[in-house]
Amino acid sequence: MTDTSARRGPARRRRVPCAVLAAGVLAIGCGSDAKPDAHLDLHCPIGDLSAPAEIQIVHQDASSSVIATQPMAAVPLIAPPQGGWIVLLGVRAKNIDGCDTNLTTALVDACDGQILQVDRRPTQLDLGTDGWGQSSINMFGNLPVCPQLTAARDLDNVPYLITVSIEDDGGQKATASLTVVPTCPADAGSRCPCECDRDYVVGNACPAVPTPHGTCPS
């Protein structure tokens, strides 16, 4: 699904072709520990910055493969280092600055429109041969899904709305939304189904047989 909601930004700063900036990055990155003030103010336009920005949502699977997200797709829940379960969301985009860009992802319960969680971070778009930029694999949105104390429904294998927005420093932006199905890994020993149960209380024992709460509360 592609959604466009771009607006023209203010006067844009100097543009540096990606090949040039890549060389600059390599030059900074080589050798001993460089000082942060060596950083260039990088820009790498993807497409036509005078046209509306366009985006498509992508996600990562457990093996870090990037997948174009489809409506009602099973999006894998992944265990981050501190605990809990997340989904990793990114974008394919064009008509936007691929280097100076912020990515905002949100988990929404479509039953009542409640936003359960928001994540915002810098991202970088790598230019593909098709003229679209794609979120760099190490700069995906980290959207926490479970546990979710305020959830009115279970979170594993239950449809939820995700919204993904991207905005560059010049004001080009776009938003897309999809209903997807966050899905726990299949391994039997995982605590994921328990921690994604609506009634799970952090720190408590998991119920032997969780009661399903997947439908919208009446």
Partner 1 sequence: MTLRFSTLALAPIALSTLVQLGCGSSQPPFTPWVLDDLHGTGGFSLRVPEFEVPAGHESQNCYFVKVPDIAGGQDFWVDEVLSAINPGSHHVNVFRVKTIIALDPANGKPTTLGDYDATVVEGADDYKTNPCWGSANWADWPLVANSQQANIDELKTDWKLPTGVAIRFTPGEMLMVQTHYVNSEDQPTKFGAKVGINFYQRAQTDTPVEMGSLFATQQNIRICQSKPNAKFSGTCKFPGAVTIAAANGHFHKRGKQFDIFAWDGASTAHPDATSQFYESDNWNDPPMKTDLSVASPANAGIWWDCVYQWAPPSDFSCDDVNAKDPLKANDCCYTFGGITDVGEHCNVFLYYYPKVESDVFCL
**Binding region for partner 1 (CB under 8 A):** 25, 28-29, 33-36, 39, 42, 80-84, 86, 88, 102, 104, 106, 114-122, 124, 137-140, 142, 144, 147, 149-150, 163, 165, 201-204
- Which residue, 127, 4, 136, 129, is CA-closest to 58? 136
> Whole-number minimum distance, CB 27 to partner 1, in Å?
10
CA of 173: how far to CAs of 1, 4, 74, 92, 101, in Å? 16, 8, 27, 13, 9
> Whole-number minimum distance, CB 118 to partner 1, in Å?
4
> Whole-number minimum distance, CB 142 to partner 1, in Å?
3
Structure tokens at 144: 């926490």
- Using CA atoms of 159, 61, 103, 145 in order, give the dihedral in degrees to the nearest 10: 40
C-beta closer to partner 1: residue 140 or 160: 140
C-beta closer to partner 1: residue 95 or 101: 101
Q: Which amino acid is at 139?
A: M
C-beta closer to partner 1: residue 117 or 157: 117
> Whole-number minimum distance, CB 175 to partner 1, in Å?
9
- Which residue, 159, 152, 163, is CA-closest to 180? 159
